[in-house]
Amino acid sequence: MSSQEKVLVIPRSLFDQLGSFQGLHSNIEDYLPLFLNPLHHSFLPRTKAEEDPAFKQIIPYIVLTCGDRILQYQRGSGSGEKRLLKKRSLGIGGHINDEDSEGSHFDAAAYERALRRELQEELNLLSFLSTTPIKPIALLNDDSNPVGAVHLGVIHHCTLLSEDVSAREAAIAELGFFTYEELLEKIEEFETWSQMVIRGWKNLSRAF
């Protein structure tokens, strides 16, 4: 982690004002537009944000599917979040910084650019087209541990045309597709956020 890296955050007080929760929350339109309004967010050094629960780091968490199978992987040695090393995950993405902004503001269009950049940096997606929707389907919050206390997940969904996918980073190992039933069988191997997504998958999948 670079000490100079700055990440997108919102005040914890804004989250509480809008209605804080634990677990998954599907009314994403009540939150995300305000989070992406430049009046309500800022960029903090990641080293500070990781230790300050007065802020929530906004973390896009993109779940990719092909047919009825869901992409999963194990967090490898190159993972930026050492507390999750060796855990399985469903989410592609991570911290947002200001390099995707154009001009002085980071807005919804910049956020969309950041999502697509994350996918292209982390995965070789031969079946992925730039026009493929990356749809926000839920928010995820878990204040029960130090990692979750300073992060707020934005769960997105993206459909792939084929399973021809490979990793571009050492942080992504044992990449492959599982059915929902196979995910349930291995659920204890997954990080907490992914466990929440798996348990809520039937409700989440109604949004796409």
Identify any residues that bridge with 60 across adjacent strands, giving them in sequence order. 154
Spatial CA neighbour of 115 closest among 137, 140, 127, 133? 133
Domain boundaries, the chain: 6-207
- In the CATH scheme, what is the homologous superfamily, with its name and number, of domain 6-207? Nucleoside Triphosphate Pyrophosphohydrolase (3.90.79.10)
What does the CA dihedral 54, 146, 170, 157 come to, rounded to 10 degrees? -70
> pLDDT tens digit string along 79-106?
454 455 579 999 998 899 877 776 567 8
Q: Would you state the structure tokens that stand for residue 81, as one six-digit string?
A: 């979040």
Q: Which residue has the tokens 């906004």?
A: 58
Cβ-based neighbour number of residue 68 at 10 Å: 10
Distance CA 10, CA 150 (A): 10
> Given this model, what pLDDT does residue 98 score?
78
Share of the chain above pLDDT 90, in %: 70
> Given this model, what pLDDT does residue 75 score?
84
What average pLDDT does this structure show over 198-208? 93
Question: What CA–CA distances, in Å, run from 72 to 16, 113, 137?
Answer: 31, 23, 18
| Phi then psi dihedrals of residue 30, to 5 deg | -80, -10
> pLDDT tens digit string along 38-47?
999 999 999 9
> Given this model, what pLDDT does residue 5 score?
87
This model's pTM is above 0.85:
yes
> pLDDT tens digit string along 126-140?
777 767 889 999 999
- Mean pLDDT of all residues in the chain? 90
> pLDDT tens digit string along 17-27?
999 999 999 99
Query: With b meaning 16 or more CB within 10 Å and e meaning fewer, what string describes 151-175?
Result: bbbbbbbbebeeeebebeeebbbeb
